[in-house]
Amino acid sequence: MLFFIHFVLPGMKARKKGVIVNLSSVAAVYPLPNYALYGATKAFVAFFSTALDRECRPYGIFVQTLFPGPVLTSRTRNQGKSVFLVQAIPYARAALSQIGLRRRTFGHWIHALMVSIAKPIPLWLQRRLLRPRSSTLRT
């Protein structure tokens, strides 16, 4: 990400226009058990994107951060069903329709709804609800 931005940013500055979309995650917003490193890297992307957006505004460059929630892909097929799980193509269409409109977006209304439902829940309770269930080790 950083290499690519370093490569394209001078041309965008010279033209005084451009759009950069950085992919973060809902995991950057809520600390999830067993996803500490993933969430931390996605929080970095969000923080970096906000700072980069402020630096690039005088040059007419729009920096957007995308915070997707669960999207049905080959990687998520084995996860349990969820009302918040969005299929890949509808998610991509919705997210692409928001490029240049919002600096921070969840990309799809389902994920925005998911976060708005979770937002009023205190973090201590979220942690308790998201705590991994203990599993029995088999030898």
- Give catalytic residues, as residue numbers: 38
Gap between the Cα atoms of 57 and 71, Å rounded: 31
Three-point CA angle 103, 70, 23, nearest 5°: 35
